[in-house]
A and B are shown apart, each in its own frame.
Chain A
């Protein structure tokens, strides 16, 4: 894992002091709320329905157990004993007091953490593949590149007042576990014909009210030009992105309105200019960062066999573990989606326990996933049973990874001031309807995603089944959509037709899964069946 040097630490410490000063000025009445708002937003502090919400950055979703413990400490000391892991691999606290915020940032800084640029119209926390450094199918570990980008984007003086927020994801395998093409910039690391590593750039993806899949704009950017190219992409956006209408301000609209070709031409022109300026850190810097991401000291004699006689353990292993690149090891997924729970929530005690388990079983490392779960990336197979037992005792072993109850849901009307409808109760009701794990396994991989309004924080456009809360004459109503995907088979979901009330939407989900069970052919996932047979049979079941 990356460790700060004196420079990184000095930057984060300076931010803590700056925010302490800004908060003091606000509390003393020297700053109005209007003046304070952009400042607090640069530090991840939102004003929500009931309280302030603080979003803490977890760069590319990676953290160690000491950092995880700190997240538990903050939940206990400054919040109501829990935290909410988000689709951007961050954590949010919903019940924060403004006067505590500087102390929280100071506590975070002691473990090399911060809330810098977790909101505001700037380059946000860089996200990545939660299995980075462990997955059997990756070309290289994408995190050193993400860290290089993190440093470049932190306090960037030219790009801190962009037309709108800006999200970047970096992956390095063909399987896309980070919804890369639904980001403002998606980067896939690839090798060129000469065998060198470089970055393939996709620009202009996003969700929100106008979802778009980012087109590829360059097939290879060498390592020593990465920052030049990113600068060029951002400069064109900063100069020409729309600022007249906040809903048309994301880079996807610029790329769409100019056309990918014209946008690319402008970026290439800017890129040629950037290259003359020497803005790119030397390759030695990427090499320095890469040193921090060496493999842990695996036991080379670790055995691949696993005793699966305990049937409950077997189900968990089948569903929640993923192949590791090292023989005798597995990637273990901890689902934060118990039946009837709030997707992504974890209590302070659970957070502490996961930290302890990471220390004991996973070389001190954890990951947060965009599906709002936690990963222990490097677990010896012979330790899996002990790990599972401890997780199970703490309610952390739902064996439902990628099944229908492994839902993404945004905070919705329970917390969010922009919401049209509640998301959490709908998630809970669907979870209860499909509580039987045998039934869920029968339905197979099924990604259900719920947003409480058109902003799409819950990724509903990318759901195999998507649910969108809308306001219909003052009553909460839910639109159903089918066929989206945030993975390598990326696609945008289509609306089935008129919406449903809260109970109606749960029935509707059940009806579409019944159509799938009836019409699927061997080995087809829900989304495959939908793609093959189209919308008509589903509509018929829903509305006739």
Chain B
């Protein structure tokens, strides 16, 4: 199993995720794994009992997982969001800003490279579900008009 990298202080959950299909069959699982083609909205009625949602990126270029993450956060999901699969260091900052807490990449990542990537951009132009790592502040337009 690959090593989980966390982006913040939240401890990584060790709940075992089930597939969305299994989850739908009245499981009382606290963790679920979402594939790119699946509709994450199916989870919205159950957010309260979920401790962990894993979002799979089978290839890094398939960006559906970013929307999935945003949708969960926009609807109040407060558990852990983890990116799994083909997660590369150069995508981490975007994941953070879409509300991910952690990543469990297929290929292990270099710790220093992770920190560099997460701390590269001082600000962000958009308001999204996650924070911008360095300033921890809202989008640039909000700062401009504070």
Contacts and interface: CB of A to CB of B under 8 A. Distances in A.
B70 interface: yes
A282 B66 contact: no
Given A22-B90, A160-B94, A238-B63, A282 B145 contact: yes
Contacts, number: 96
Interface stretch (B2-10, B27-35, B119-127): B119-127
A23 to B, nearest CB: 13
Contacts of B143: 7
A290 interface: no
B126 A121 contact: no
A5 to B, nearest CB: 7
Interface in A53-109: none
Given A277-B74, A282-B141, A285-B141, A11 B121 contact: yes
A14 interface: yes
A273 B74 contact: yes
Contact of B144 (A5, A18, A152, A159): A5
Contact of A18 (B67, B95, B120, B123): B120
Contacts of B122: 10-11, 14
B88 interface: yes
A288 B63 CA distance: 33
B82 interface: no
A42 to B, nearest CB: 9
B116 A157 contact: no
B120 A161 contact: no
Contacts of B127: 277-279
A21 B140 CA distance: 25
B23 interface: no
A408 interface: no
Nearest to A148: B141
B48 interface: no
A157 B74 contact: no
B22 interface: no
B74 to A, nearest CB: 6
Contacts of A522: none
A21 B88 contact: no
B98 A157 contact: yes
Contacts of A288: 144-145
A18 B64 CA distance: 24
A287 B58 CA distance: 43
A239 B67 contact: yes
Contacts of B97: 157
Contacts of B67: 158, 235, 238-239
B13 interface: no
B121 A14 contact: yes
Interface string B122-144: 11111110100000000111111
Contact of A281 (B60, B123, B141): B141
Nearest to B41: A239
Interface size class of B (residues with CB under 8 A): 35 or more
Interface string A225-246: 0000000000100110001000
B123 A10 contact: yes
B62 interface: yes
A39 interface: yes
Contact of B66 (A7, A38, A238, A279): A238
B11 interface: no
B45 interface: no
A154 interface: yes
A285 B125 contact: no
A239 B37 CA distance: 8
Interface string B93-123: 1110110000000000000000010001111
A17 interface: yes
Contacts of A35: 88
Nearest to B64: A239
Contacts of B123: 7, 10-11
Nearest to B140: A7
Interface string A261-281: 000000000000100011101
Nearest to B100: A157
Given A278-B127, A282-B141, A284-B145, A161 B121 contact: no
A50 interface: no
Contacts of A281: 139, 141-142, 145
B75 to A, nearest CB: 9
Nearest to A13: B122
A156 interface: yes
Contacts of A10: 122-123
Nearest to A287: B145
A159 B126 CA distance: 11
A152 B139 CA distance: 10
A161 B66 contact: yes
B92 to A, nearest CB: 10
Contacts of A14: 120-122
Contacts of A38: 60-61
Contact of B63 (A8, A39, A162): A162
A161 B125 contact: no
Given A154-B125, A162-B63, 7 more contacts: A8-B140, A14-B122, A156-B126, A158-B67, A160-B63, A161-B61, A282-B145
21 contacts: A14-B120, A21-B116, A35-B88, A121-B61, A121-B63, A151-B125, A151-B140, A156-B125, A156-B126, A158-B63, A158-B128, A161-B62, A161-B66, A239-B67, A243-B64, A277-B74, A279-B126, A281-B139, A282-B145, A285-B145, A288-B145
Interface of B: 36, 60-64, 66-67, 70, 74, 88, 90-91, 93-95, 97-98, 116, 120-128, 130, 139-145
User: 6 nearest interchain CB pairs?
Assistant: A161-B63, A157-B94, A281-B141, A157-B97, A7-B140, A158-B66
